[in-house]
Amino acid sequence: MAKALEGIKILDFTHVQSGPTCTQLLAWFGADVIKVERPGEGDITRGQLRDIPDADSLYFTMLNHNKRSITLDTKAPEGKKVLEELVRTCDVLVENFAPGVLKRMGFSWERIQELNPKMIVASVKGFGPGPYEDCKVYENVAQCAGGAASTTGFDDGPPLVTGAQIGDSGTGLHLALGIVAALYQRNTSGRGQQVLAAMQDGVLNLCRVKLRDQQRLAHGPLKEYPQFPHGEFGDTVPRAGNASGGGQPGWILKCKGWETDPNAYIYFIAQAPVWEKICNVIGKPEWITDPEYAKPAARLPKLKDIFATVEEWTMTKTKFEAMEILNKFDIPCGPILSMKEIAEDQSLRATGTIVEVDHPTRGKYLSVGNPIKLSDSPTEVTRSPLLGEHTEEILRDVLGFDENRIAEIRNSGAVGQAQRLAAE
Ligand code: COA
């Protein structure tokens, strides 16, 4: 079956996490993703957080599925020539180097346009234009600068970063959307363009509700926050613990076994339309008509006590038992799932959200597949490439070089030695 982005060639100059998540998505939608890596070491993540000696790390393999790898010293004269040919041939160049790197390499936007006016140049940077534009940025820096850390955690504790990689993978997602939009516009304009996704901007976009609350604060206390009614509100959005970011109050509650299992908890939402059902389930039918509890506004100052009462009920059930009962009554809730439970979840395996992949040097491992499902463009997850595995194939089939030219490039040292498959 044809794929959504079939025929699109991506010159993938990305490394670490943010850029690779973007190009991996494009590869899953059918683009031919050619990853350019430095001879010898390649993407630094190949060797980071290694669990198996001499095998590409899970860090690398889980971010670089369905790609081809060419090793190229883009600072060497022959390497530069090959890169120029790749720019002429590909549709999109994606990069997440530190600011200024691409220009120092000799590939400014102007130069790229000279080589290929249809090329889309897509970049992840830490910050957009402004005082921090020259800074190098990693995930947690973006979480802090984008407003996530100041609004995450409990009021009496320090700012917290989240486990979800909203700075890296989140920005990769934003960039992928920008690339697809630019490809669409190119159909009518005939021109390429620059696409920039700054990590600070991406995180802030995901923290949109907190900028909403910053402005609501000018009109009085945030009544759904745990600080209300007893705590003090300052002039900035406080950390809200596990309170819901939306209009329906919620909290994380203990379930049976919480004393020994760190994940025996459930997220419980006291949704107004099902208040009556909630009262019946937890054994508080009198709250249905009691004016102190019957209406959402009356409940807001008592949320802490209400959730404590609901918790008395959830603590008598496992998180899965509670989930089953609450769902019968359409009461929104969600179990706190551990990574172990997610890895073993058969329904996630069935949809391809969790996949098992085989790799020649590390063997079988689990990965997260494509979370976006297209009915006419199904995703088959294939393993990440070994370093430089497709160098010759790309020089021959993508750039059309003959054997003499390939030998010339190899002899110049610009492509280094490819990592070989164990079977060879
Ligand atoms: N051949 C030759 N040189 C190469 C090369 C290749 N194939 N690929 C990379 N290089 C060189 C670059 O030209 C650069 O050299 P220069 O500094 O002399 O110009 C050098 O490698 C380092 O690149 P850089 O991007 O600065 O890597 P770093 O390891 O120092 O910094 C980051 C890493 C992530 C901090 C930085 O790239 C960054 O801030 N990126 C933007 C934000 C981002 O994506 N952050 C999240 C990462 S998950």
- 290 catalytic? Reply is no
Q: Measured between alpha carbons, how far apart are the two ends of the chain, in Å?
A: 31
pLDDT, residue 245, reads 85
91, 168, 201, 213: the active-site residue: 168
CB 171 within 8 A of CB 18: yes
Give start and end residues of each alpha helix (H) in 29-76.
58-61
Residues contributing to the annotated binding site: 17-18, 38, 72-75, 96-98, 104, 136-139, 246-248
CB 249 within 8 A of CB 269: yes
CB 294 within 8 A of CB 283: no
Which of 134, 136, 165, 168 for mutating ligand 1's site (highest number of atoms within 8 Å of CB)? 136
Residue 37, strand partner residues = 71
Strands 194-198 and 120-125: parallel
Phi-psi region of 116 (alpha: psi -120 to 50; beta: other; left: phi over 0): beta
Candidates 283, 273, 274, 287; CA nearest to 311 is 283
30 backbone dihedrals φ, ψ, rounded to 5°: 110, 0
Q: What's the rounded Cα separation, in Å, for the pair 115 and 102?
A: 15
Give start and end residues of each alpha helix (H) in 1-100.
18-28, 58-61, 77-89
**Amino acid (1-letter code) at residue 162:** T
Residues contributing to the annotated binding site for CoA: 17-18, 38, 72-75, 96-98, 104, 136-139
Q: What's the rounded Cα separation, in Å, for the pair 231 and 214?
A: 17
Kindly report the pTM of this predicted structure.
Answer: 0.96
Q: What does DSSP assign to residue 366? A: E
pLDDT, residue 1, reads 81
CB 24 within 8 A of CB 372: no
Rg of the Cα atoms in the chain: 26
Q: Which domains does the chain have, with CATH numbers?
A: 9-205+343-412 (3.40.50.10540), 250-331 (3.30.1540.10)
Residues contributing to the annotated binding site for substrate: 246-248
Tell how far the Cα of 97 is from the centroid of ligand 1, in angstroms: 4
CB 244 within 8 A of CB 268: no
Q: What's the rounded Cα separation, in Å, for the pair 191 and 201?
A: 26
Please identify which residue in the block is written with the tokens 């990305």: 14
Tell how far the Cα of 394 is from the centroid of ligand 1, in angstroms: 23
Check the CA dihedral 378-381-387-392 and report its sign: negative
Tell how far the Cα of 396 is from the centroid of ligand 1, in angstroms: 27
Which of 59, 86, 95, 97 for mutating ligand 1's site (highest number of atoms within 8 Å of CB)? 97
Q: What's the rounded Cα separation, in Å, for the pair 226 and 317?
A: 25
Residue nearest to atom 15 of ligand 1 (CA): 101
Q: Helix, strand, or coil here: 367? A: strand
Ligand 1 interacting residues, C-beta cut-off 6 A = 16-19, 36, 38, 72-75, 96-98, 101, 104-105, 124-126, 136-138, 168
pLDDT, residue 420, reads 65
Q: Going residue by residue through the chain, which has 424 residues, state the pLDDT in tens, using 9 for 90 and above.
A: 899 999 999 999 999 999 999 999 999 999 999 999 999 999 999 999 999 999 999 999 999 999 999 999 999 999 999 999 999 999 999 999 999 999 999 999 999 999 999 999 999 999 999 999 999 999 999 999 999 999 999 999 999 999 999 999 999 999 999 999 999 999 999 999 999 999 999 999 999 999 999 999 999 999 999 999 988 899 999 999 999 888 899 999 999 999 999 999 999 999 999 999 999 999 999 999 999 999 999 999 999 999 999 999 999 999 999 999 999 999 999 999 999 999 999 999 999 999 999 999 999 999 999 999 999 999 999 999 999 999 999 999 999 999 999 999 999 999 987 666 654 5
Q: What's the rounded Cα separation, in Å, for the pair 93 and 120?
A: 6
Q: What's the rounded Cα separation, in Å, for the pair 146 and 139?
A: 11
Q: What's the rounded Cα separation, in Å, for the pair 231 and 217?
A: 14
CB 162 within 8 A of CB 168: no
